[in-house]
Amino acid sequence: MSASLHTRLIKSEAQRLGFFLTGIARAERLDEEARRLEAWLHGGYHGQMAYMENYFEQRVDPRRLVEGARSVISLAYNYYNPQKQSDPDAPQLSKYAYGEDYHYVIKRKLKSLLQFIREHIGEVNGRCFVDSAPVLERDWAKRAGTGWIGKNTLLIHPKAGSYFFLAELILDLELIYDQPLRDYCGTCTRCIDACPTQAIAPGGYWMDGSKCISYLTIELRQAIPEAFRGQMANWMFGCDICQEVCPWNRFARPHEEPAFLPPDHLLDMKRQEWIDLSEEVFQQLFRRSAVKRTGYRGLKRNILFVMQAQRVG
């Protein structure tokens, strides 16, 4: 079969599995992106995420991850949920964490796609990645034409916004490669203006990870610095501010993934219920959730930090 037919087969099956965007890029070293990553790391913008310094060459060259790699398939999976928490005074949870941990949901689909490729195309050497390995997912998504990297440093698609997860298949299979999209951010600065911790550079396209609310509530293992008290807009896990204000997200459509639906009562919990949250209730609510990454103690730390600031305010 030809590379063209292989490409059509893969994209069709990816769509059937629920990936609403699929793009393909040639597997090669990301030279320009490597220089940018190096500058970001040297500037200390990764905070305490020391793991970002590891496996540098693997991050910028997929051929170090899959021997003989020829193609990087970038896939997007929608998680947008228009529902919001009912109590405006309650600590906030990022939409991506409403339901089951996306790592497991998407990894299952990726494995199914890889199995399909092997059954219908032949013995292909490949690996699946979902935000848990040294892969520059947004850079590959940009190269594969599934969007542009916006001023908020998230991938944006002109017909779907940015509420989607990214995943990759790296294969030793020659395919037809897609062309990158142009940047449509223009003169807009809504994400920059809205970020309460000023984590986004004034000119955009550069994120000080150590100031990002998602970093502070998930990655940071120590106490949240007092300098951020009153600046976190009640976010207890993650943050959606730069997506909420992005004009392109008016095109976001509700997801159709049952696993991403929130547990009963989660979005109706009141402020006091969150403050009184017990470890038992935490385990019931977030048994299969990405929120388990921060753990019960971490989430309680975040809740108390933002709620105390709210009382002071």
Which residue range(s) make up the domain with 144?
Answer: 3-81+97-171
Q: Mean pLDDT per segment of 10 residues, for the chain of length 313 residues?
A: 95 98 98 97 96 95 97 98 97 98 97 98 96 93 98 98 98 98 98 98 98 98 96 97 98 98 96 98 95 97 90 52
Tell me: do 196 and 225 sit in the same domain: yes
Whether 47 is covered by a domain: the verdict is yes
Instruction: Say whether both 136 and 217 belong to one domain.
Output: no
Query: Are 163 and 200 within one domain?
Result: no
Residues 140 and 53 in one domain: yes
56 and 195 assigned to the same domain = no
144 and 194 together in one domain = no
Burial track 219-231 (b if 16+ CB lie within 10 A, e otherwise): bbeeebeeebeee
Specify if 183 maps to a domain. no
In this structure, is residue 17 part of a structural domain? yes
pLDDT value, residue 112: 98
pLDDT score, position 313 = 47
Question: Residue 31: inside a domain, yes or no?
Answer: yes
CA atoms of 80 and 32, how far apart (whole Å):
31
Instruction: Examine the domain organization and report whether 39 and 112 are in the same domain.
Output: yes
Q: How far from chain centre, in Å, is Cα 74?
A: 13
pTM: 0.96
Residues 167, 235: one domain? no
Which of 61, 87, 131, 183 does the annotation list as catalytic?
A: 131
How many domains does one find in the chain?
A: 2
Q: Identify whether 218 is part of a domain.
A: yes
DSSP codes of every residue in 113-146: HHHHHHHHT----EEEESSSSS--HHHHHHHTTS
Question: Has 131 been annotated as catalytic?
Answer: yes
Let me know if residue 271 belongs to a domain.
Answer: yes
Q: Residue 207 falls within a domain, yes or no?
A: yes
